[in-house]
Amino acid sequence: MPDSPALTALLFGPRGCLVEAGPSPHTAQPTPGALQALDWLHRQQVPCAWLDEVSAADADHLASPLPGWLMALHGGATPWPAPDACWQALMALKTHTLDGCVLVSGEPRLLQSGLNAGLWTIGLATCGPLCGVDSQQWQSLSPQEQERKRGQATLQLFALGVHSVIDHLESLSDCLADIAQRRLKGEKP
């Protein structure tokens, strides 16, 4: 993204976005494209964190397959969709401006929190609660059922007000490039 405005920070909702349940109840595994996207962002020196409304024990479980440099923030005094959690995460990342800050999640309440905080938001259509299946279950669906679930989730995400919708993190870099172009044209979240 040469000539594109720099990203200031990226926030993620972990469940369904970065991690999903593993083969046993106490394991988590990265979602398709999650580790590659995080590696790309780390090489670009974009500060990143994930935030969720979970206990410390659940946070450790969620973070287990993720890189150690990725900041994890959990809990919080004010429940979503209040913007506080997003602002606290950005302060923890030492972000000095909202310009160029992006939230990526499939969780509608967290996305609403990001919108309330003034962030760019990217909704995930095929992973997360709106789709209701993990990546393995997704692969077992017929193409017609995949399209139906994707379409329903996409409509719900855009109705919420998100700025962009992608299927999964494998499409993140192209989506961020699109947001950069929109920012160059003067668009604000």
pLDDT, average across residues 72-80: 81
Instruction: Pick the range with the lowest mean pLDDT from 22-36, 103-117, 166-180.
Output: 22-36
pLDDT digits (tens, 9 = 90+) for 102-145: 999 999 999 999 999 999 999 999 987 888 887 788 889 999 99
Query: Which of the listed CATH numbers 3.40.50.1000, 2.70.150.10, 3.40.50.300, 3.40.50.720 matches domain 9-184?
Result: 3.40.50.1000
What are the backbone dihedrals phi and psi of residue 10, each rounded to the nearest 5 degrees, phi first?
-120, 135
**Is the confidence at residue 48, as pLDDT, over 50?**
yes
Whole-model pTM: value is 0.93
Burial (CB count <10 Å: 0-12, 13-18, 19+), residue 12: buried
- Per-residue pLDDT, 139: 87
Query: Residue 3 to residues 6, 134, 161, 172: CA-CA distances in angstroms?
Result: 9, 37, 27, 18
pLDDT, average across residues 7-19: 93
CA distance 101 to 170: 19
Burial (CB count <10 Å: 0-12, 13-18, 19+), residue 151: exposed
Amino acid at 45: Q
Domain extent listing, the chain: 9-184
- Per-residue pLDDT, 85: 92
- Per-residue pLDDT, 128: 79
- Per-residue pLDDT, 1: 36
Note if the bond before 81 is cis, omega within 30 degrees: yes
- Per-residue pLDDT, 24: 62
